Structures are given as C-alpha cells and as structure tokens.
Amino acid sequence: MISLAMREQVKSSSIIRAMFEEGKRLAAIHGTENVYDFSLGNPSVEPPNEVKEAIFEIINEENSMAVHGYMNNSGFEDVREAIADSLNRRFATQFSSENILMTVGAAGGLNVIIKTLLNPGDEVITFAPFFGEYRNYVQNHQGQLLVVSPNTKDFQPNLEEFKEKINPKTKAVLINSPNNPTGVVYSEETIIRLADILREKQHEYGSEIYLIADEPYRELAYDQVEVPYLTKYYENTIVGYSFSKSLSLPGERVGYLVIPTQAADFNNLISGANIANRILGFVNAPSLFQRVIAKCLNAQVNIESYNQNRELLYNGLVSFGYECIKPEGAFYLFIKTPLENDVEFCNLAKQKNILIVPGSAFSCPGYARIAYCVPYATIERALPGFKSLISDMKGQK
C-alpha cells in the first residue's frame, strides 16, 4: 500500500501530463498530423549549434573521469564562475561562484531552496495563475501554499490582496515571470511595489521573508520587453533558473540557484542548500551538461520562431472572438473560455482534436492555457477548429 499522501498525489496527478498522454492516444487513432496538442510546454525549437559542438568538444578533448565524476554539491567551480560572470555582464550584478548552486533544473532548484527555508507549517505565498506543481513542492517540505487570487485585468500580481495575506507565518513568496500560464512579464513597477511591501512586512513582523524568482522563461521575451532582474530590487531574493527553454534542453535537467551574498543568513542559506541538494537525492546537477552550458552561455534558441507562432495564434484567436492578453514572454497564451466551465470547454475542444489545459489547473478557472511551442503548421491546421469551437458556443446562446 502506498502512503496516504501519495494516494492523494496520484488522484490529483497533473492534468497537463494527462492531456499529453491523451494526445498520444488520439494521434494513434487519427494520425499525428490531425491532432493539435497544445498541452505541454515542450520546446519545439532545436538547441543552438553551440550545444552539439560543446558536447563533442568535451567528450573528445576533456578528461572523461573529470567530466563524469563527482564534484562539490554546488557544482563545478569554473562553471559557477562562468555563470556568475555572465550574469554580472548582463545585469550589472556582483556575483561570484559562491553565489551559484547548480541544480537539477528549475524544479530541482525550487525544491532545494524550499526545503532549505521551511519549517513545518511555514507559508509560501504565490500569485494565481501559477504552475500547479508549486503546491506539491511546498507540501513536499511540510509548508502551506497561500494563493493570491488572479488579477484578470492584466495578470500582474494582485498586490492589494497580497499585502493583506502576508502574516507572521510567511517565509517566502514565489513568483514566475515571464509567467506560465499567461505569458505576462511582471513589470518593474510591480516588482518595486512588491519589494516595498515585503520590506514593510519584514519590519512589522521582525522576520525575514524571501522572494523566490522562478525564471526558466527569462530569455523568451518579445517586443523588446525587459524582464527585471529581481536581486537588484529586493535583498532577500533567490533566483531559480533552468536552461530547459533558453537552450531547448528540458530533458537534460540542468539549472542553477542564485543566492546573493546580501540575502539574510547567507552562509547558512548556501550551506543548507548544498546539503538539501544532496539529501533530496540530486547530489549534484548532471556533470556533462554543467560543462556544456558553461560553453553556451552566450547562445540562445531562435525565439523568432516562437514569436511567429505567438502572432499567428493570437491574431487568429482574437479575430474569432476569443478574449486574451497578448503574451509578452514564454510560449503560452491564456484565453478566457467562452464557457464558464473551463474543463467542459477543454473537453469540447478535445472533440475537435485540440488539446489545451483548463485554467483550473493553474488556480484560475474560466480560462485555458495554449502552449504554442509547436510547429507553425500545427497552429495553421488548428485555427479552423478553434474558429468552429467558438462558433458552436455562440450558436448555443
């Protein structure tokens, strides 16, 4: 018998993954070209050439025992130094290798820092809509996730409600920008106000509140939109990053945490995170791909491909009568569902072989997420189905 906790986890297993599996089932029936799977945020753009070149160079020229062996739980020091130097050039920060901890993707990094920070019963605040796994990550470490309701006007964080929900149990605030599922980039004005609220509440309660920035989509921003680098706005910021999207390497599971020296209790933070990296079973980030990404820090996927998808999908859906905010980043578009019941709407979409994820999975019912990290032709073929779907809705009113 599995644990009671895991039984509950199995019951509430990710609807995103369930949709992905449904897509494979439908493809076997109707043919892959006739199923339009917008469920999973799996990059559709190939990794840059630098990645392949780096792999061959490392395998052929570097000492294999060093490449594949253990290292410090934080990761290779030269890799961490290279990342720190890159961040310093780009964002005028002052990091060194001691501020970087290599992790098994952004998900591994979030689990590491949440385990490091939380006592049983501590609260982590996040803003709806949010990536549903956040709830699991916090519960994994005996914390409670407190959700701020969505601001559906522009999907910037609802800071008035946020201010009311901070309390003496608040240990951390978890944000994601560019955001999954909306594609919205949190503005500098929003970040400044958020930081001011956090400082005010720290002073009021006499405790430290950490801001955890989940940033796997940082490099995927369009129309010259700037994504603020949060350590410059709030001292107790910890950044989690992944190369899954910026280099199209989701299966390689490599990323890092940035823990700034000015963060409260820095020495214990970095020591605790190192130990958490080990006892969670990660031990260290994948060694080969640590070395690969160190050679590819200036490389980037062709985001123009994603931008073309964004323009085609957004313009098409709006012309049909769908309501949505034009995404500024990531590769998701978040539509208001014509039916109040978003799950029912997504089931109707499935009848047209269109797979999208209900907003309820992101704590934002009445909406649906469309992942446009797919071939351009998939969107072209799917648009008539989206048009037919909303026409059916209008015909029933």
Entry pTM = 0.94
pLDDT greater at residue 2 or residue 83? 83
Query: Which residues fall within 8 angstroms of residue 383, CB to CB, at 6 or more apart?
Result: 312, 313, 316, 317
Rounded to whole angstroms, the Cα distance separating 378 from 65 reads 44
CA distance from start to end of the chain: 49
pLDDT in tens, 223-234: 999 999 999 999
Closest by Cα among 247, 271, 236 to 112: 271
Per-residue pLDDT at 397 exceeds 60: no
Q: What is the DSSP letter of 361?
A: G
Q: Which of 118, 139, 191, 146 is nearest to 9 (CA)?
A: 139
Mean pLDDT of 112-116: 98
Quick one: average pLDDT of 31-42? Answer: 86
Q: What three-state secondary structure class fits 4?
A: helix
pLDDT of residue 208: 97
pLDDT tens-digit series, residues 264-322: 999 999 999 999 999 999 999 999 999 999 999 999 999 999 999 999 999 999 999 99
- Tens-place pLDDT, residues 312-331: 999 999 999 999 999 999 99
CB-neighbour burial class of residue 346 (10 A; exposed 0-12, middle 13-18, buried 19+): buried
Give the integer Cα–Cα distance in Å for 113 and 258.
10
Strands 123-127 and 144-148, sheet pairing? parallel
Return the pLDDT at 375.
96
- Report pLDDT digits (tens) over 225-265: 999 999 999 999 999 999 999 999 999 999 999 999 999 99
The amino acid that residue 304 corresponds to is E
* pLDDT, tens digit, 9 for 90 and up, residues 157-188: 999 999 999 999 999 999 999 999 999 999 99
- For the chain, the average pLDDT equals 94
pLDDT of 357 above 60: yes
Cα 131 from chain centroid (whole Å)? 7
Determine the average pLDDT of the residues in 104-118: 98
**3-state secondary structure (DSSP) of residue 143:** coil
User: Which pLDDT band holds residue 31 (cuts at 50, 70, 90)?
Assistant: confident
Q: Is the confidence at residue 11, as pLDDT, over 70?
A: no
Q: Beta-strand (E) ranges in the chain?
A: 36-37, 100-103, 123-127, 144-148, 170-176, 210-214, 237-242, 255-258, 323-324, 332-336, 354-355, 357-358, 367-371
Task: Please give the pLDDT value at position 15.
Answer: 66
Report the pLDDT value the prediction gives residue 396, as an integer from 0 to 100. 61
CA distance 95 to 85: 7
DSSP state of 329: B
